[in-house]
Amino acid sequence: MPINQSLPYDPQLNVSALSAIFSNTTNSYKLLFFLAIMEEIKTNLSKGERNQSIKLNSLSIRMLQFAWYPHRFFNLSFGVQDKIARSLDMLNFDIQGSAITNRKSFEELRIAIEDQFNEIGGRSLERYVPYRLLSPFFNKELKGLPDAKINNKVIELTGQSFASNSPSIYRFSDDHSEIILHERWLKYLSDNWRIVQGWALFEWANYLQKKNPSTPAILNKLQPPTNRSPLKKQTDYWKLVSENVDPHCIYTNQPLTTGEFALDHFIPWSFICHDELWNLIPSDPIANIKKGRAIPSEKTLKPFIDQHLMAIDIHHSKNKKSWPRIVQPYLEGLSLSADEILNPDLVAASLEGKMKPLMSLAKNLGYQ
């Protein structure tokens, strides 16, 4: 079923035009502008409000705020001609990966964008996208019109549409500094917020996948997670190993004290977006912090594999009862059978075959 058919029908609104606002999208602006509108509606709903007026300045800030996470944490491209990334690269703001789930950090990001708005070129986002987004509502009227005249024509048409039976989503305030949502569209977007937001995020993910065809797990890279996994099961897995042998940190070559280690994502979480056991390794806490989102040196790959072989052997001998459950992440992640996982040569070859391409791909995509 085409994605536009998933938008709820309303006999009083031109939902077909809404479903076409992302057609032939060549940059991120329309997607981010609409997502910003949806976030403003959500914020107002949480306050028990249904404000029809939204400042263009507020929407531009939300656009940059929404785009910051996939750009900053995942190095995702928005397209060669897209200026959002350029603005974000000029933004003086940074947080540690552990803080991305903190709502306070997201608010600090908004404040940083607001304070540096003019310096990073935020005002330029208001120049075209608020007008071009509504093109599907006025295809006939805008056909063949010179680009320089489109903004004024859209302002005129949106004002006229508000008095008709087929209004556009919004019109513009007299000084063009705000959009004013039509009351029927505000009700539609509010009542169907989850469905419409899901549709817009799906379109955003499709756009990013086209611009980043080699990047895995795009859907997990759109917004900060509500929370990160505490890695309790994975930590318990390596604790048992440390109680039976003296593992070393593969980055410092120093022994790790039992229970006093940090679990490191060998391939950074910001690239693969999962906490699978086969990508985790105990490390010195300070070394883990220093490594951050960097791709490890290839010389650490063999020690990484050796530690996993040792861990598998220990759990197989010490955890007979729980062995099928414990080993499942390896079987699924490395595409090995229950018999093959007990063959160290096969496991080593599978881990190397898994890690080397991921390391190479991440480096090609800008990870250092």
The DSSP result for 189-228, as a single string, is: HHHTHHHHHHHHHHHHHHHHHHHSTT-S-GGGGSS--S--
| Pairwise CA distance, residues 299 & 317, whole Å | 29
User: Is pLDDT above 60 for 98?
Assistant: no
User: Is pLDDT above 50 for 358?
Assistant: yes
* pLDDT in the model for residue 103: 67
Mean pLDDT of the chain: 89
* pLDDT in the model for residue 5: 45
Lowest mean pLDDT among 30-39, 126-135, 224-233, 277-286: 224-233
| Pairwise CA distance, residues 161 & 169, whole Å | 9
284 falls in which pLDDT band (50, 70, 90)? very high
114 falls in which pLDDT band (50, 70, 90)? very high
User: Is pLDDT above 90 for 368?
Assistant: no
DSSP 245: S
Q: H-type helices in the chain, by residue range? A: 15-19, 29-46, 56-74, 84-90, 103-115, 129-132, 139-142, 147-161, 183-191, 193-211, 232-244, 269-272, 285-291, 301-318, 323-334, 344-364
User: Is pLDDT above 70 for 326?
Assistant: yes
User: Is pLDDT above 60 for 214?
Assistant: yes
* pLDDT in the model for residue 1: 32
The percent of residues above 70 in pLDDT, for the chain, comes to 94
- 214 compared with 115, residue with greater pLDDT: 115
To which residue do tokens 């080993």 refer? 327
* pLDDT in the model for residue 175: 95
What is the CA 300 to chain-centroid distance, rounded? 29
User: Is pLDDT above 80 for 21?
Assistant: yes
Lowest mean pLDDT among 21-35, 115-129, 249-263: 249-263
The percent of residues above 90 in pLDDT, for the chain, comes to 64
Question: Which amino acid belongs to residue 9?
Answer: Y
350 falls in which pLDDT band (50, 70, 90)? very high
* pLDDT in the model for residue 12: 93
364 falls in which pLDDT band (50, 70, 90)? confident
User: Is pLDDT above 80 for 2?
Assistant: no
- 176 compared with 292, residue with greater pLDDT: 176
User: Is pLDDT above 50 for 292?
Assistant: yes
* pLDDT in the model for residue 24: 82
* pLDDT in the model for residue 101: 52
pLDDT tens-digit map of 222-246: 877 666 678 899 999 999 999 898 8
* pLDDT in the model for residue 100: 53
User: Is pLDDT above 70 for 97?
Assistant: no
What is the three-class DSSP state of 299? helix
Lowest mean pLDDT among 91-105, 168-182, 297-311: 91-105
215 falls in which pLDDT band (50, 70, 90)? confident
On whether the CB atoms of residues 198 and 222 are closer than 8 A, the answer is no
Task: Let me know if 338 is exposed, middle or buried by CB neighbors in 10 A (0-12, 13-18, 19+).
Answer: exposed
DSSP 255: B
Residue 282's DSSP bridge partners are 263
* pLDDT in the model for residue 99: 47
User: Is pLDDT above 90 for 184?
Assistant: yes
- 126 compared with 319, residue with greater pLDDT: 126
